[in-house]
Amino acid sequence: MDVQATPASIKTIMFIRLLCGFYCDISANKIVTVLVRVYCVAIITLVMAFGIYLWNGIIGISSKIHFLFITTPYITSMVTNICFHGEYFSEFLNKMENFNLTHGFLSSIKIPISSLFFVFVFLQRFLFQMKFTFDAIGLPFRGVLTHASFILILCLMNYTAEFSIHIMFELLWHRMGMLRKRLEQDISTARILRDGEESIRENIRTCMRRYQHLLETARVTDGPVKFLVDTYIFITAR
């Protein structure tokens, strides 16, 4: 993926994901790639070790179950990221960019809705976990600052794991809107032509081909996305 050409919002998300241990291809340099992979493996190891340490310190079955549920999305996303070499998200962005170039749409990978949603949900989860921790869980820490720091990191890692799914759906939604507007413009233009009916039929066929191309673009992430979405639905509906 061309990182230099990536919008700032996507760069920020990819940087946060990388900090949380989700590998992505950021450079063609082999040394940099190896260092990034080593870093991600180290983060996974630390998170797993720290999770086991916290598990042993949590008091009560209900608290242990709650801890298991709030860490499952991160672990699931991490396993998926490893199995697919961290490429499904980058590949999706590349396919979206190629779709724009192929069909003459403006190159735009903006995620205003996902960005606002990220801030809102992240703060909501952070405050909820803070309240739950102080009300119900006995963690082996001392001091409010230590508690808050740990919960902040946990929420960041947890929500970052699923945030890429929101980005994908928003980008697809934007492309669907672009297809609709293009079809409306083409049909309006065709109506004033002498062979208007034939032009309208051709515009509809062209739109269907573009729509099919968009669906094929989305299918590059079928495997990991379906697995992650099913996991998140199960966790949310618990």
Are 170 and 114 in contact, with CB atoms under 8 Å apart? yes
What is the identity of the amino acid at 202? E
Q: Which domain holds residue 214?
A: 8-236
pLDDT for the residue 15: 81
The neighbour count for residue 17, using CB atoms within 10 Å, is: 22
Could you give the number of structural domains in the chain? 1
Q: What is the dihedral of CA 225, 228, 234, 238, to 10 degrees?
A: -140
pTM: 0.66
Sign of CA dihedral 129, 130, 135, 139: positive
pLDDT for the residue 108: 61
Q: CA angle, corner 148, sides to 142 and 154, nearest 5? A: 115
User: If we measure between CA atoms, which residue out of 16, 70, 78 comes closest to residue 41?
Assistant: 78
Q: What is the CA radius of gyration of the chain?
A: 22
Are 228 and 166 in contact, with CB atoms under 8 Å apart? no
What is the identity of the amino acid at 185? Q
What are the helix (H) ranges across the chain? 8-19, 30-57, 61-83, 88-103, 112-136, 144-190, 196-218, 222-236
> What is the distance between the alpha carbons of residues 236 and 70, in angstroms, rounded to a whole number?
10
Give the list of residues 6+ apart from residue 212 with CB closer than 8 angstroms, or none: none
> What is the distance between the alpha carbons of residues 171 and 177, in angstroms, rounded to a whole number?
10
DSSP secondary structure letters along 113-150: HHHHHHHHHHHHHHHHHHHHHHHH---S--SHHHHHHH
What is the identity of the amino acid at 197? E
> What is the distance between the alpha carbons of residues 163 and 160, in angstroms, rounded to a whole number?
5
Judge whether 114 lies within some domain: yes
**What are the pLDDT tens digits along the chain (238 aa)?**
544 456 666 777 778 778 877 777 777 788 888 888 888 888 888 877 877 777 777 667 777 777 777 777 777 777 777 676 566 777 777 778 778 777 777 666 667 777 777 778 777 777 776 676 666 555 554 555 565 666 667 667 666 767 777 788 888 888 888 888 888 888 888 777 766 678 888 888 888 888 888 888 777 676 667 777 666 666 655 5
> What is the distance between the alpha carbons of residues 150 and 51, in angstroms, rounded to a whole number?
11
> What is the distance between the alpha carbons of residues 151 and 159, in angstroms, rounded to a whole number?
12
Judge whether 3 lies within some domain: no
Chain-centroid distance of CA 179 in Å reads 23
User: What's the token pair of residue 32?
Assistant: 């940099």
Judge whether 1 lies within some domain: no
